[in-house]
């Protein structure tokens, strides 16, 4: 479809993307015939130059594995994106490329909707772009956290039951278990979870990841990434739609 307001998503191996359908449904509902949404599946980040050179691109979302790498290709960052060090939304205005982080907005909405007073400290699983947005929001809400990643001191090999039982908020920020690899699951001491735990898995496809299934079997309250995704998409739309050509 010809459109003078092109939006899209850049990432790698992203045929499963939620964003295309979400935004196309939005355009239909609002009768916005001058908008389109495309998938830009890039094998390497430098291919983003081709996206920038396309006429009428108003902006795009950024997903795994480019949320941090995209920064080198931008002219400016919003305050949050600067502090977080990751970008998931880009606005192109008069040739100027500005990076935003709407993941933080989406995660904060999710956290506030589900958090209880006893969720005083957190474990953040993963240390990529999504985890950085989560860490930013935990800091903002004065929730102390420890980050577990493959290379950190506290990692998936030495994470013990005691640490899990002491931290009642668990946020799974890695792509492990995402479609099509739905049988994959992080190594994690699920038996340490209780009905006092809140487990937020940022994965939305499948709806119930192996991580969520294992957590709920051990009594934890579980939330997937769909609401966060919706909220970050709405925030991105707010950024783009005020700037349309």
pLDDT at 244: 52
Pinpoint the residues of the chain covered by CATH 3.40.50.10860. 5-102+229-241
User: Mind listing the pLDDT tens digit for each residue in 12-62?
Assistant: 988 767 899 999 999 999 999 999 999 999 999 999 999 999 889 999 999
pLDDT at 18: 85
Are 238 and 49 in contact by the 8 Å Cβ rule? The answer is no
Residues of the chain with pLDDT under 50: 1, 245
pLDDT at 14: 83
Pinpoint the residues of the chain covered by CATH 3.40.50.720. 104-228
| DSSP-derived secondary structure for 178-237 | -TT-TT------GGG--TT-EEEE---SSSS-HHHHHHHHTT-EEE-SHHHHHHHHHHHH
What fold does the segment set 104-228 form as a domain? Answer: Rossmann fold (3.40.50)
pLDDT at 1: 44
Q: Is the dihedral of CA 222, 224, 227, 231 positive or negative?
A: positive
Q: Is 5-102+229-241 a CATH 2.40.340.10 domain?
A: no
Q: What residues are paired with 156 via a beta bridge? A: none
Residues carrying an active site annotation: 67
CA 55 – CA 58 distance, rounded (Å): 9
């Amino acid at each position: 479809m010809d459109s003078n307001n092109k939006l899209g998503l850049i990432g790698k191996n992203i045929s499963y993307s939620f964003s295309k359908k979400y935004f196309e449904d939005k355009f239909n509902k609002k009768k916005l015939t001058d908008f389109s949404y495309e998938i830009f599946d890039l094998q390497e980040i430098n291919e983003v130059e081709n996206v920038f050179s396309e006429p009428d691109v108003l902006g795009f979302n950024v997903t795994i594995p480019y949320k941090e790498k995209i920064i080198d290709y931008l002219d400016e960052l919003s305050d949050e994106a600067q502090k977080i060090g990751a970008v998931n939304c880009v606005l192109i205005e008069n040739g100027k490329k500005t990076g935003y982080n709407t993941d933080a907005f989406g995660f904060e909405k999710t956290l506030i909707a589900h958090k209880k007073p006893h969720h005083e400290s957190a474990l953040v699983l993963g240390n990529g772009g999504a985890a950085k947005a989560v860490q930013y929001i935990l800091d903002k809400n004065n929730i102390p956290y420890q980050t577990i990643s493959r290379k950190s001191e506290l990692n998936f090999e030495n994470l013990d039951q005691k640490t899990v039982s002491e931290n009642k908020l668990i946020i799974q920020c890695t792509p492990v278990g995402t479609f099509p690899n739905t049988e994959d699951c992080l190594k994690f001491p699920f038996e340490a979870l209780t009905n006092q735990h809140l487990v937020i898995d940022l994965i939305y496809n499948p709806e119930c990841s192996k991580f969520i299934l294992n957590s709920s079997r051990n009594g934890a309250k579980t939330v997937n990434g769909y609401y966060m995704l919706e909220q970050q998409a709405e925030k991105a739309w707010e950024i783009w739609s005020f700037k349309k050509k």
